[in-house]
Amino acid sequence: MKKFSTIAILALMLVGCNNNFDNVAPTIEGKTLTIVATTDDADIDGRTALNSADGKSLVWKTGDKLGVFCEYNGAAVGTGYQNEFTLSYGDGLASGEFSGTIADLDAVDTNVEGQFLRYHAYYPMTAANASKKKFALVGTLSAVQSYNAAAEYNDMSADDVMIGQYLEGTKDDLTIPLKFQHVFGLMTFEVSNPTGEAIVVNKIEMTTEEGLCLSGAYTLQANKLLAAGSDPNPNPVFNSGSATVGVGVSNGTVAAGGKLTARLMFNRWADTNGKALTVKVYTNKGAQTFNKTATDFSGNTSWGMRLALDTNAMEVALVDNYDSATMTLWNSETDLTANNTKNITTAGTYCIDGSIAYTATCQLRVKTDGANISFIGRYIENGMPKDSFTGCLVQSKHANSGQVNLLVKDLNIACYNSEMSFIRFNDSIKTLNSLTIENCVLDCSTSLPLMICDGNHGTLNVVIRNCTFTNCGESLINGAGAGGSENLSFTFEGNTIYSNAASVESLFDLSGCTNANFTTTIQNNTLIAE
């Protein structure tokens, strides 16, 4: 996982000239070069990883890749396509070493007075640009990003694009020094809560005037350093996009008198100076709008904004999740078959509008193999789900019902009666690959645990986050018979549990999860005595 920090505009690194190319020995076929990649920020040390604790610790991580172009005497070296360089040293360090080769570099005759090998690079290397040459890059700055306010680090590398160059290389060089510029800007929101009660921040949006693009698809020339006010414009070009950019916040509870930090990347090159800028904070108490006047963001890569919450200034915020192009809508009129059992045989997202309740046993069956299946509520009001599902979700005892990735989100959930669990994935034939439950309110007034994972097969990876559990007894998850060879991870974070249990950890029986690689993460939860 990559990490990220406060960022400032970077300077081009120049190295002393060596114009004597007459006696340069030919390079070895396919020799490995090392790129030493750094930034030149005044207050920070590394690249694109942000430490939430101090806002400035930057490091490279294993798996990081650069796309590198090379030219000589005005012509591309080799085919002109980018070359892949992979981090070989520097995991967890500010200065990373990347190893790779430049195709056909050994065949280049560099005996031209005053000419140097020119290296251009960008980060992160992407599949979308793998076939690009002549330095042309394409990408998309996400309109909706994510930030975990409780995480030690947040990976923002998909949107924190960097470019760099070294223009005075020779064929003697086995090490190429590169300094990078951050293409886009980082906005840091400091949200304070002077009220007398805790407030949960779910999302923050920043919007400028129509016609300007704070996010969207762009093109970028990797061989041109960024510069404010230059002509021709070397900066990313947004032919179309959105005047809005937002960040979904997880673990966003702000205690009374406390503060929360959330960050997003935005297009700092938009002509925002003097234009209206609206920031909207969505919380469990409502949505609050802050009206600002934007500055010229192009000069820096790091900006900050302080926002003080006021419940008296909030309005009801209703979010509609339904997308007719990608989802199947379910409501009380949906045909659930005569016996009240619904077999899910195809991948997809099923959006529940209103209230759906089953009245028999084992109502909703996952009966497909290797699929991504989502059940989500349609409406969220002030960050809380409005739609509901009552019944039991099970894995069908069928040879083709395994390796499913299942998401349950934005729903009020209850079991049919006190003798049932909401989830039973304990089939002896197939294993569920993953189960994620997010932003749900779950009524746990049942004599059985919310979820049972027993039998020879079960669920490999369980993630339950940002949920509220009401009427909770002293058992939420029973994994006593989960099968140690199967279960790999259990994550329970950012939840609120109404229970008289002695501790959050006591709500789970994971004794059957004995796989040597099994990991448990239980953090940032709130236990409230009933």
Distance of CA 529 to the CA centre of its chain: 34
What's the pLDDT at 306? 96
Residue of 251 and 275 predicted with greater confidence: 275
CATH topology of domain 186-316: Immunoglobulin-like (2.60.40)
Read off the pLDDT of residues 145-183 as tens digits, 9 standing for 90 and up: 888 888 777 777 788 888 888 999 888 888 888 888 889
Q: What is the mean pLDDT of residues 108-126?
A: 86
What is the pLDDT, as a whole number, of residue 279? 97
The pTM is what?
0.64
pLDDT value of residue 290: 97
Nearest to 206 by CA among 159, 157, 164, 145: 145
Domain ranges for the chain: 33-142+152-183, 186-316, 320-528
Check pLDDT > 50 for residue 46: no
pLDDT of residue 14: 22
Q: What confidence tier does 248 reach under pLDDT thresholds 50, 70, 90?
A: confident
Q: Which two tokens stand for residue 149?
A: 């306010």
Residue 100 pLDDT exceeds 60: yes
What is the per-residue pLDDT for 12? Answer: 22
- List, edge to edge, every strand of the sheet that includes 477-478: 342-344, 364-366, 393-395, 423-424, 451-452, 477-478, 508-509
CATH 3.90.1150.10 holds for 33-142+152-183? no
% of the chain exceeding 90 in pLDDT? 21
Do 186-316 and 33-142+152-183 fall under one CATH topology?
A: yes
How far is residue 258's CA from residue 454's CA, in Å, rounded to a whole number? 42
More confident call, 352 vs 433: 352
Q: What is the pLDDT of residues 219-242, one digit of tens each?
A: 988 888 887 766 666 789 998 889
pLDDT for 50: 46
pLDDT value of position 292: 95
**34-38, 352-356, 427-431: range with lowest mean pLDDT:** 427-431
Give pLDDT, residue 389: 86
What does the block give as tokens for 527? 């236990």
Alpha carbons 442 and 37: distance in angstroms, whole number: 48
Band (325; pLDDT cuts 50, 70, 90): confident
Greater model confidence, 116 or 446: 116
Main-chain dihedrals φ then ψ at residue 85, nearest 5 degrees: -120, 130
Confidence label for 108 from pLDDT (cuts 50, 70 and 90): confident
What digits encode the pLDDT tens for the residues 256-315? 999 999 999 999 999 999 999 999 999 988 999 999 999 999 988 889 999 999 999 999
Residue 2 to residue 8: CA distance in whole angstroms: 19
pLDDT(13) > 50: no
Q: What is the mean pLDDT of residues 399-410?
A: 73
Average pLDDT for the chain? 77
For 313, the 3-state DSSP assignment is helix
Report whether pLDDT(474) > 50.
yes
Percent of the chain beyond pLDDT 70?
74
| Burial of 436 (C-beta count, 10 Å sphere; 0-12/13-18/19+) | middle
Who contacts 393 (Cβ-Cβ below 8 Å, separation ≥6)?
363, 364, 366, 375, 408, 422, 423, 424
Q: Sorting pLDDT into bands at 50, 70 and 90, what band is 370?
A: low
Q: What is the pLDDT of residue 52?
A: 46
Lowest mean pLDDT among 81-85, 214-218, 485-489, 518-522: 485-489
pLDDT at residue 68 greater than cutoff 80: yes
pLDDT of residue 427: 55
CA distance linking residue 200 with residue 240, whole number of Å:
33
φ, ψ at 312 (rounded to 5°): -70, -20
Residue 506 pLDDT greater than 60, yes or no: yes
pLDDT at 455: 46
Per residue, the 3-state secondary structure of 427-445, as one string, reads: CCCCCEEEEEEECCEEECC
pLDDT given at position 42? 39
Reported as a pLDDT band with limits 50, 70 and 90, residue 22 is very low
User: If pLDDT is split at 50, 70 and 90, which confidence band does 97 have?
Assistant: confident
Is residue 326 pLDDT above 90, yes or no? no
pLDDT at 415 over 90: no
Please report which confidence band the pLDDT of residue 483 belongs to, taking 50, 70 and 90 as the band edges: low
Span of 36-40, 98-102, 343-347, 516-520 with lowest mean pLDDT: 36-40
CB 419 within 8 A of CB 447: yes
